[in-house]
Structure 1
Amino acid sequence: MARRRRADATLDTELAELPPELRWREWVARVEAVIFAAPGPVDRELLGRVVGWGCSIELVIEDIRDALRERPYELVSVAGGWQLRTRARHAEAIHAAFGSAPAPVPLSEAGMLVLACIAYHQPVTRGALSEMIGKAVSRDTIAELRARDFIVAGPRSPQAGAPYTYVTTRAFLVHFGLDTLRDLPDIEALEDAGLLEAAQLHAGGFPSPAADDDDLGPEDGEDEEGG
């Protein structure tokens, strides 16, 4: 299907008067400038506003990445878009130059566990999360994750009472440096990182995929969004 693009009427995106090589260089420069100026990941639709129909955004991204191979920053795929980020090996130098910003308040242990369960089993209800973990998931834990913009209410479950489910957000992908949910680490990686032990502590093993919710009763207080 042809890409739909919307451009500012004053911006010449086709650059038909330029020879092919100069046209391509201008497209690459525009894409890099937009990504550089953006406060977060830039998606394909936005980049399509500054280049012509004959421009392959994938090839532009490859060219930019090639040009940055020896630079202290790189172009990474995040949350379905692209973002410039400094390379991890320069973190010490950046810290020495600017010091440390105030560290964000870390998620509670319960919050991290519930977030992991939602990420792997979404859309999932609070009742199903409680069954996975082996103890009740409090509204405070859900509120903590919503306040960080890591989760939002998803579609209502077909079970009795039609409680809301929970799903992760684009902000979740950006925060954890993921392009899509397919980039979530597998069980072995979680174990290597020591995260599996936390789940075992609470649930006697890493939560298995949610069972059919039809045998669960209505969840108290989930008749409203985000319950």
Structure 2
Amino acid sequence: MSEDIETPEESLFEAPPMAEQERMIEAVLFASAEPVTLNDLEARMPHGSDAAEAMVHLRKRYEGRGVQVMRVGDAYAMRTAADLGFLMQKETVEVRKLSRAAIETLAIIAYHQPVTRAEIEEIRGVSVSRGTVDQLLELEWIRFGRRKMTPGRPVTFVVTQTFLDHFGLENARDLPGLKELRSAGLLENRPPPGSMPRIGEGEDEPEAAEGQSELFED
């Protein structure tokens, strides 16, 4: 008997065709409310499947469609095409006001991560209240990062995958530039970070910011 003949036991572990693997990934992404990593996908799929290769084919198949397969950090999700977002505006609008302090703090963390509270205060020119940080942590837009190897080992803050997903970003490098931020009213033509003049003493003001940028609104 030839050794090349495949036994029934071996055939049980044969990976499904690539087209079927694409369908499996499509089904998981469609049903999942949160982005899914390749490792999670491969753990659900039959033995021998190649989630990474199937994802490449699936993303290509969805190019130019109303729904696209987007990368969010190290995970993937099905999302409405960016140019069609206006069609869903009524269904997705949720009033969630952030104070000017929270907007500025979030922007500093996004652009300077990993950053400590002291560094945020140095850039803003005022103390950062615990309430401001707690609000951003509650929204799950920021999280604690690694401690810095400096005296006191201060904790750092970084933006989360939830933040990237909320604003349709693949990673923090996709954030808008200074020109876009100034036109949105976030920077108000202030000097570059690090050279901002002090705008007051004490802690953050609790008032909600007016005319918030679309970057920090639903």
Q: TM-score, normalised by structure 2?
A: 0.71
Aligned AA for 1:152? R
1:53 pairs, out of 42, 48, 57, with 48
**What residue number does 1:199 align with?**
187
Taking a change above 3 Å as real, the CA distance of residues 101 and 94 of structure 1, as seen in their structure-2 partners, is: closer
Deviation of 1:148 after TM superposition, in Å, equals 0.9
Q: Secondary structure at the match of 2:26?
A: helix
Identity of aligned residues (%): 31
Q: Secondary structure at 1:77's aligned position in 2?
A: strand
Task: Letter of the 1:42 partner, please give it.
Answer: V
Per-residue CA shift, 1:158-213, capped at 9, x if unaligned? 4444332222222222222222233333xxx3312436853356xx423149xxxx
**Alpha-carbon distance in structure 1 between the residues aligned to 2:83 and 2:123:** 38
Root-mean-square deviation over aligned CA pairs: 2.8
The Cα shift of 1:27 comes to 0.9
- Residue 133 (str. 1) matches residue 124 (str. 2): yes
- Superposition pairs of residues 139-150 of structure 1, within 5 angstroms: 139-150=130-141
Aligned to 2:148, which of 153, 157, 161? 157
Whole-angstrom distance in 1 between the partners of 2:87 and 2:157: 39
Given candidates 154, 159, 167, the residue that maps to 1:168 is 159
How far did residue 88 of structure 1 move?
3.3
1:78 positional shift: 0.9
Q: Please, which runs of 5 or more residues in structure 2 have no aligned partner?
A: 1-10, 196-218
Look up the equivalent residue of 2:179 and give its one-letter code.
Answer: E
2-structure distance, mates of 1:110, 1:151? 15
Is the alpha carbon distance of 1:196 and 1:207 closer, same or farther for their aligned partners in structure 2, counting shifts above 3 Å?
farther
**C-alpha separation between the residues in 2 aligned to 1:68 and 1:150?**
28
Write the distance in 2 (CA, Å) between the matches of 1:63 and 1:139: 46
* Higher RCO (CA 8 Å, separation ≥ 6 residues): 2
Instruction: State the one-letter code of the partner of 2:132.
Output: T
Number of residues paired by the alignment?
A: 184
Aligned to 1:41: 35
Residue 63 of structure 1: aligned partner: 57
| Contact 2:72 2:161 (8 Å CA) reproduced | no
- Residue 73 of structure 1 and its aligned partner are, at CA, apart by 0.8
Residues of 2 paired with 1:40 and 1:73: CA distance?
15
**Counterpart residue type for residue 87 of structure 1:** A
What is the match of residue 73 of structure 1? 67
Q: Secondary structure at the match of 1:167?
A: strand
Deviation at 1:152, TM superposition (A): 2.1
Q: 3-state SS of the aligned residue for 2:39?
A: helix
Taking a change above 3 Å as real, the CA distance of residues 184 and 37 of structure 1, as seen in their structure-2 partners, is same
CA change 1:41–1:92 in 2 (3 A) is same
TM-score by length of 1: 0.68
1:179 aligned to which of 164, 170, 179:
170
Instruction: Tell me the SS of whatever aligns to 1:152.
Output: strand
Distance 2:113 2:130 in 1: 17
SS at match of 2:144: strand
Which residue does 1:25 correspond to in 2?
19
1:179–1:51 distance in 2 versus 1, CA, 3 Å: farther
